[in-house]
Amino acid sequence: MSTDPADVTAYRASAHDAGEVGRLLHDFNTEFETASPGVNVLTGRLQSLLAGPSTIAYLIGHPAEGVALVTLRSNVWYDGPVALLDELYVRPHRRGHGLGTLMIDQLLADATASGISAIEINVDESDVDAQRFYERHGFSGRDPSTGERAFYYALEL
């Protein structure tokens, strides 16, 4: 990968970038030993999702070395939509160079400009580095009045 600074600008992916997004998400899950439906299935879904209004992806690098995936939903407590940062991944050899920060900064700027009311993330208990990273970017994992955590629960159907 070039070290040209122009190469390390985060940019919003279009449906044409579905293959690069799918490849990075697949490699993410493979690295962390999580099941993946495979690059082809992910790419097919992303071609459809990225063409719609509710899924946003950021890429960084040419070829892309990092991805952020965001989905939007309505929320009765806010005027604007709420964004969930589903995934943030940077390839191992490119970590520690601020690529995650560049993608988060772009997300925050775009979210503010487009009237998104809040951004949410689910972070694993043991992933203290990620917790610190998000705290540095203004996210809070504790209720401001009680200091308590919120736990994420799920049921697959």
| Binding letters toward its own copies, positions 127-146, x by CB under 8 A | ----x--x--xxxxx-x--x
Least distance to its own copies from the beta carbon of 63, Å? 20
The phi and psi torsions of 72 (rounded to 5 degrees) equal -105, 150
Residue 39 touching its own copies (CB under 8 A)? no
- Among positions 118, 129, 132, 136, the unique one binding its own copies when judged by CB under 8 A: 118
- Among positions 19, 39, 71, 106, the unique one binding its own copies when judged by CB under 8 A: 71
CA distances from 12 to 9, 17, 47, 72 (A): 10, 9, 14, 15
Residue 46 touching its own copies (CB under 8 A)? yes
The phi and psi torsions of 60 (rounded to 5 degrees) equal -145, 135
**How far apart are alpha carbons 137 and 106 in whole angstroms?**
12
- Pull the structure tokens for residue 141: 């994992």
Residue 76 touching its own copies (CB under 8 A)? yes
Closest listed residue to residue 81, CA positions, set 121, 104, 54, 108? 54
Binding region for its own copies (CB under 8 A): 25, 37, 42, 45-46, 49, 52, 54-55, 69, 71-77, 79, 84, 86, 108, 111-112, 116-126, 131, 134, 137-141, 143, 146, 148-157
